[in-house]
Amino acid sequence: MNSSLSILQPWVYQEEQTLQELIECFCNPSYKIKDSEIANLIVKYFFNYISPGNHNTRLSESDINKVFNESHFFFDIMRKWEKELGTDEPLLFREISRLEYQLAMLWDVASTIALFKDIIHRRIDDILWGRKYFWLDLGTGSGILLLAQYIQARRNGFTSFVNTGIELNHFAFERTQEIVQALGIWNLIYGNSYLEETYESVRKIENISFLSSENLTPSYVCLYDGEKIKEPFFENFVALAEVFWPEVVDSCKKFPKRVSFVLGIKEFVVWPKFVDFSKDVVEHRETIEHLDIAPKGMSVCGRFYDDLGKIWENYRVMNPRDRWWLVTFFPKWKHRWRKHTKDTM
Amino acid sequence: MFLFRKKGLETPQAFTPWIYDTKTSLASTIDRLSDKKREITDGEIFNLIVKYFVNFIVGDLEYEKIPEWEVHKRYLWLQKFTKKEWWIWGNEIPREFVPIIPIYYQLSMLWCPSTLSIVKSIISEKVEDILWNREYRSLDLWAGSGILSVAFYIKWRRSGLIPNMRQSIWIEINEDVAIRSNRILHKLWIGRILKWNTAKVETYQSLKIPRVVHDIGNENLPNAFSPLYVYEKLQEPFLMNIRALKEYLETLEKSSFFPKMTTFWVQEKARAEWVPFSFPVLSIWPNIVESLERINAQEKLLRESGNYEKIDSFLHPEWIKIRWKFVSLEEVGNEYIISEDSPSWYFYQSDFMPRRWIFDSVGAAYFYR
């Protein structure tokens, strides 16, 4: 186990603030959030996700690095021997193999900083009078974007609102639920995000103030694998349009704001007509066997990236002596927005 | 704001230049129109619409004088966008199109000669009967840009009322549009928009909208000869709005609608099922309860036959009543387009100009709804 690697650059990490204190800081609209603080929050959230209940404890840098390194180590083993779940494996190993897909988001700290920053700084107008404001996150996973939504809502001055995430994976749901109850700031629904039944409890709200649905495969990786749906990006929108009014789904503020898809040699930018486009895709999926549609790029923080794999590039380290990069690079992990390959930088 | 204009380039023109008033802002145009001592001129209404148009795209220009070339430029971009030459643009959307895209459908209402005749017809009416001893109220359904509500506002002021912001209620479901028009109308001190769905009764109930309303703008009609409802996705909630209102309002018969009457051409497929009324044409006066009941009866018949769910998919709007005339939807506002017949009017015609109620070669309204 190589414990000398550190996830953040040493000058970035701040020991003084706990996770909860950081969140409270972020919720203040007059507080200017630095990128390094977002990196801090994500790293602390990661620690909290692996060992819940630590949102009010002060974590030293070595604590964080230890967890990152250990999980790195187990992930490496998992990939090498493709081990199956056994009862006598260490606890961390079991958790990582269960939550692998959800943790991929948190492991990929560099690109999560960009997404987090995008969501936090969106502006939401209050134009509903006497109605509920509703923040929705499809495919919550680790719940980091749900947290971003909460902060965004508070920064926009909303005091009472509904912040809901939907998660299908049982293990991830239970774990995220624990953190939910600890921080006490949002709801979780256990269910399939592209079935209408899941939305029963929120159907009456009839409004979406902010929608984040980043159910995307890495760029140029197809959304469908034969009959199997890898990521239900389009199915989600079809279901949402039936539960809520299609006009609401199309026009609400969302993350990602714009996505481009590759179909054969053509490229489509899907904005703002998400519902119509996804209806077409879902219809054609039934009739055509090989619909090779894959995401390619999306807009984050006002910039359109033609490749999802490029989103992280502002925050990773190329040369460790450059002081403006935040996150050091761990090559062996599964990454959210890049194809998982064995090559290193 | 407009300092950095490139000189030496002639912008193509969208309208006859002498009609545009460079000395008035949007707010002062409204003030002029609502002065009852002055007569209404087409030129001023034209100025109102055009300035509202630029405001709607750019924002925060309510009290500023807008130079003429700015309007022409906006028009040019809109026209370019309407051409939809995606193969020229490549993968990246030109920067100028970005603010246009989410509000494209609403812009087709703002930039067209048919709006001129609509606004004129509303303004030239007078409020009768000062309001059954009630506070004057107007309701605009799926308000879009909100130009109809501005017309109502001007109408009140022309008939001597001093409306406040509470008295006019506008509902729009599209958030992008609602935010923009809300900002304009709030600044002009006319009112605020509610972002909600007008096709449901629960909306009116839970928003506690007053049950007595005097002016109702329900101009949610698709292009001429295209149905209200297509392929299980709603195109225009014209009938649903009226049904919801019929349940909710106390004074449906007294209040005045825009349009006052709409005539639909009924598809033959549906006509075969209608035993008592097998007319090819069906007209709806939203004021008159009987005409609504007749439609409901027809729909009931259709449902009982087991074939169809919604009557909306068989109704194709054809004529509406504007002032005293019945006008085909395609011909509304034609008198303001320059042609060989009427060479002296305002709008230069263009094949690619997005127009309300006309299914042009591009099919703008259908695809961008």
pLDDT tens-place string over residues B237-280: 899 999 999 999 988 888 889 999 999 988 887 777 665 556 77
pLDDT level of residue B368 (50, 70, 90 thresholds): very low
- For residue A170, the model assigns a pLDDT of 93
CA gap B184, B145 in Å, rounded: 9
- For residue A162, the model assigns a pLDDT of 94
Mean pLDDT of chain A: 86
- Residues in chain B closer than 8 A to A245 (CB atoms): 173, 197
Mark yes or no for CB contact A128/B195 under 8 Å: yes
Highest mean pLDDT among A62-66, A101-105, A136-140, B324-328: A136-140
DSSP H helix total and E strand total for chain A:
10, 11
CA gap A221, A293 in Å, rounded: 8
Q: What percent of chain B has pLDDT over 70?
A: 82
pLDDT level of residue B365 (50, 70, 90 thresholds): very low
pLDDT level of residue B346 (50, 70, 90 thresholds): low
Q: Is the pLDDT of residue A339 over 80?
A: no
Q: Is the pLDDT of residue A289 over 80?
A: no
Q: What is the mean pLDDT of residues B11-24?
A: 83
Q: Is the pLDDT of residue B369 over 50?
A: no
CA gap B42, B199 in Å, rounded: 34
The enclosing H or E element of A24 equals helix A19-26
Spatial contact of A115 and A42, defined as CB atoms under 8 Å apart: no
Mark yes or no for CB contact B175/A252 under 8 Å: yes
Spatial contact of B3 and B54, defined as CB atoms under 8 Å apart: no
- For residue B26, the model assigns a pLDDT of 97
- Residues in chain A closer than 8 A to B179 (CB atoms): 125, 127
Mark yes or no for CB contact B176/A267 under 8 Å: no
Residue A69 corresponds to which amino acid? N
Mutation pick from B103, B186, B195, B236 vs chain A, by most beta carbons of A within 10 Å, is B195
Q: To the nearest whole angstrom, how far is the Cα of B91 from the nearest Cα of chain A?
A: 7
Spatial contact of A186 and A221, defined as CB atoms under 8 Å apart: no
Q: What percent of chain A has pLDDT over 70?
A: 89
- Determine the residue of chain B that is closest to A204 in CA distance: B202
Q: What is the mean pLDDT of residues B173-202?
A: 91
User: Is the pTM higher than 0.90?
Assistant: no
* Lowest mean pLDDT segment, chosen from A86-90, B96-100, B320-324: A86-90
* Lowest mean pLDDT segment, chosen from A98-102, A293-297, B14-18, B272-276: B272-276
- For residue B343, the model assigns a pLDDT of 54
Mark yes or no for CB contact A279/B233 under 8 Å: yes
- For residue A129, the model assigns a pLDDT of 77
CA gap B165, A246 in Å, rounded: 30
- Residues in chain A closer than 8 A to B102 (CB atoms): 251, 272
A interface with B, Cβ–Cβ < 8 A, is: 125, 127-131, 206-207, 245-248, 250-253, 260, 267, 269, 271-273, 276, 279, 304, 306
**For residue B101, what are its two tokens?**
């895209």
C-alpha to C-alpha distances, A287 to A237, A241, A261, A290, A291, nearest whole angstrom: 19, 21, 20, 9, 9
- For residue B350, the model assigns a pLDDT of 59
Mark yes or no for CB contact A248/B173 under 8 Å: yes
Please tell me the number of Cα atoms within 13 Å of A204 on its side-chain side.
Answer: 5
- For residue B85, the model assigns a pLDDT of 73
Contacts with B316 (C-beta within 8 Å, 6 or more apart), sequence order: B224, B225, B226, B227, B228, B264, B265, B266, B267
Q: Is the pLDDT of residue B88 over 80?
A: no
Mean pLDDT of chain B: 83
pLDDT level of residue B330 (50, 70, 90 thresholds): confident
